[in-house]
Every structure is written in structure tokens, then in C-alpha cells.
Amino acid sequence: MERRTLLWWGTGSLLAATALGALIVLGFADAPAIDRWWNTAVAAQRAPWLVAFAHGMNFVGGSRGTIFIVGPLIIIAFVLARRWRSAVFAAMAMLTSAGVVQVLKHIFGRARPDDMLVMSDFGSFPSGHVANAATVAVLVWVLFPRMWTAIAAALWVLAMAYSRTLLSVHWATDTLGGALVGAGAVLMLSAWLLPWVRQQDHASPPAAGVTETARTEEL
């Protein structure tokens, strides 16, 4: 994508998340009908294995899981691959996404569903777990734009969103808001940082023969 396109999509996603939160909080005294319907429908599907899966996603996608496991693993992988610019990009994207999530949570202060299966922090909108998942998903797709990465990214975000509603920690619209924030943060930063990141990716190391010739001349 061109820089302008990335900037428009990123900014648009963040504005859409903000508008969605304002519409829900200011426009409805209670959760919208779609949220209440989905909450009831998903609660009826709480098979033990699905609940176990959701608890696993709760740990991996939460603040602790992202800060101490997922985030560091991604950054370390880029550093080991000698792609330090990608590591910087990833760190900035995750920090930006988390910051926007916290700002919107405190602005809107939306109440969570009453039948939560796990404890959670203040503010239901947007979902921080889904924002984290979308940040990682879109980051991987931007750096490795392939069909299989796009499919895997979409499935990861959908799985996280489903798990949050299965545990009744979030309303469905919270997960949509989280996805918009995570994707928007990455796309907006991509408009400024992606050309810089790709300069390192496209830089070819000196050929082995050239290196050996240089060493021979030095000797």
C-alpha cells in the first residue's frame, strides 16, 4: 500500500473505534440488542473445552501475556533475524495500541457484562485482548504480506474476539472496537515507519566471495 493509503486506513480505523464507543455509551442506556443477543447465544455454548480454550486465550492475549510473552518473543525473533528495525516497529505498534486502548477505556468507562467468568480491569470498551491480537496480526501481515498470513491473522483475531465474549468479559461491540484500534495503530505507524523498515529488509549483505577477497587483501 502507498503511504497515504495506509495513513487513511489507520486514522480511519482509530476514528471509527472512537465513534463506535461514543455511539454505544451515549446512544444506549443499556447494551445494544445485538450485544445482549450475542452474549446470551454464546453463553449457551459454554462447553468445557471451549471454556478451557477461552481461559488460555485470556492469558496469552492479556496485558501480562503480551508484555511478558508474546511481545518479547516477537521482538526477540526480529532481533535474532537481524531485523532490528522490524523489532522497533513492533514495539512501537504494541505500545501505541495499548495506549489508545487505555485512553478510550477511561473516556467511555463502559460497564462489562454481569456474568463474567474471569476478573478483569476497568472499562469494557474497547477490548484490550482483541486490540493486542489485531496489533500482532496486522503487524505480521504488513511485514509479510502473503495470503496465508492474512488468513492466519484474521482467524487469530476472530478466535480472540470469540473467547472474550464466551467468557462474558466483553460485549461483541467491544471486540469490534478493539480490532479497529489494533489494526489502526499498526496501519497508521506503517505509513511512517514501513519504508524505513523495508530499507533494512531490502539491503543485501555482501557476497561471501567479496568478503573473502577483502580479507585476503587485508592479509
Distances (CA, A) of 200 to 4, 9, 10, 77, 193: 21, 25, 23, 16, 12
pLDDT at 15 over 60: yes
Whole-model pTM: value is: 0.86
What's the mean pLDDT in 25-37? 88
Q: What DSSP string describes 159-179?
A: HHHHHHHHTTSS-HHHHHHHH
Residue 132 backbone dihedrals phi, psi, to 5 degrees:
-60, -45
What residue type is 103 in one-letter code?
Answer: V
Tens-digit pLDDT profile for residues 97-117: 999 999 999 999 999 998 888
Q: Which residues neighbour 32 within 8 Å (Cβ) at sequence distance 6 or greater?
A: 24, 173
Q: In 3-state terms, what secondary structure has residue 132?
A: helix
